[in-house]
Amino acid sequence: MSSATAAEAPISRRAARKLAKSTVRAEARKEAAQRAIGYVRVSTEEQAESGFGLDVQERAIRAFALSQGYELVDVIADRGVSGASRPMDREGFSRLVAVAKRERASVLLLWKFDRLARHMIFAVVAVDELREKHGMQIRSVTEAIDTATPMGEMVFGVLAGMAGMERKAIVERTIGGRKAKAGDGGFAGGAAPLGYRRDLAGGLAVDEEEAETVRRASELREAGSTLQAIADTLTAEGRRTKRGGRWHPGTVSYLLDNQKYLGRIEYAFEADGVSTVINRPGEHEPILKRAAEGDAA
């Protein structure tokens, strides 16, 4: 009487259930692999300079999805958002993850990988999080890169590094330009403070109506009023902050400490861990005239 071999023996019900569940999961993964979601992003500066706006990116993603047989469940946008921000901190990108989970999409389509992030660490962290936590792979529709493959993952790392270097170079050039302008006494960027407006040349011009509030605050301080008393007086007199709000002691302190009212330019720059402070006479007209008298003395 011959006995059945191990290969011929019937499997247990426990093993059968595991095989059935595995088959169901495989079918679910296969279905999800055909469902994609698109993500587009553009900063205000990029759209103005390059012309590669959200519509251009979305058309490319839709055409790619059609050519690859993906079911595109949605295309989500972050408009006017810098690539220097963390993807998960963006409103659109955060919503994208929720939609992908709800619609069982496992592929994220991007126009280019730099739409994800320009900082290498942000891009790598986002890719890892999407893969590990949400089971999603990322494909660039213009760079033929698929992070589901070892080669695609390697190329992604190279591109993310290049994008990070590009961003750093842009920041360095921007800071260098601002430092040079401030060093010459020019207004080197930022919002024009109360009492000033930006002129056509990018400098500061006095706004007489707002300047009266600055002078009033200075007069009260010289008379010995506390910051709280100055804030209460300015509010009672119907004077508003630059943003149209009420005055508070901190707002008054910040105003009175602003060197621009004294006709000076002051900026603190930081790059690669090195801080540089520039404080020198500016090209603009002082609102508080004692500055000119102090410089002359």
- What's the confidence (pLDDT) of residue 293? 43
The pLDDT value given to residue 162: 66
Fold of 13-166: Rossmann fold (3.40.50)
Q: Is 12 a catalytic residue?
A: no
Q: How confident is the model at residue 52 (pLDDT cuts 50, 70, 90)?
A: low
Residue 144, token pair as written in the block? 């033929």
d(CA 116, CA 87): 7
- How is residue 132 written in tokens? 């590990």
8 three-state secondary structure: coil
CA 217 to chain centre: 36
Q: Taking CA 26 as the corner, what is the angle to CA 23 and CA 28, rounded to the nearest 5 degrees?
A: 110
Over residues 204-245, the pLDDT tens digits come to 999 999 999 999 999 999 999 999 999 999 999 999 998 888
pLDDT, tens digit (0-9, with 9 covering 90-100), for 121-180: 777 778 878 887 888 888 888 886 777 677 776 766 676 666 666 667 767 777 787 778
pLDDT per residue as tens digits for the range 237-284: 999 998 888 999 999 999 999 999 999 988 877 766 677 788 889 889
Residues forming a β-bridge with 36: 72, 107
CATH architecture of 184-296: Alpha-Beta Complex (3.90)
Nearest of 107, 96, 160 to residue 138 by alpha carbon: 107
Looking only at the bridges linking them, the beta strands covering 137-140 and 145-146 are antiparallel
**90 vs 52: which has the higher pLDDT:** 90
Would you list the DSSP string of 152-192? Answer: HHHHHHHHHHHHHHHHHHHHHHHHHHHHHHHHTT---SSPP
pLDDT of residue 29 exceeding 70: no
DSSP assignment of 206-240: E-HHHHHHHHHHHHHHHTT--HHHHHHHHHHTT--
Query: For the chain, which residues make up each domain, given as ranges?
Result: 13-166, 184-296
CA of 143: how far to CAs of 9, 24, 50, 96, 146, in Å?
51, 33, 18, 21, 9
What does the alpha-carbon distance between residue 95 and residue 79 come to, in Å, rounded to a whole number? 14
DSSP of 11-32: PPHHHHHHHHHHHHHHHHHHHH
Q: How far apart are CA 164 and CA 120, in angstroms?
A: 5
Q: Which of 2, 3, 12, 43 is catalytic?
A: 43
- The side-by-side arrangement of strands in the sheet containing 145-146 is 71-79, 35-42, 107-110, 137-140, 145-146
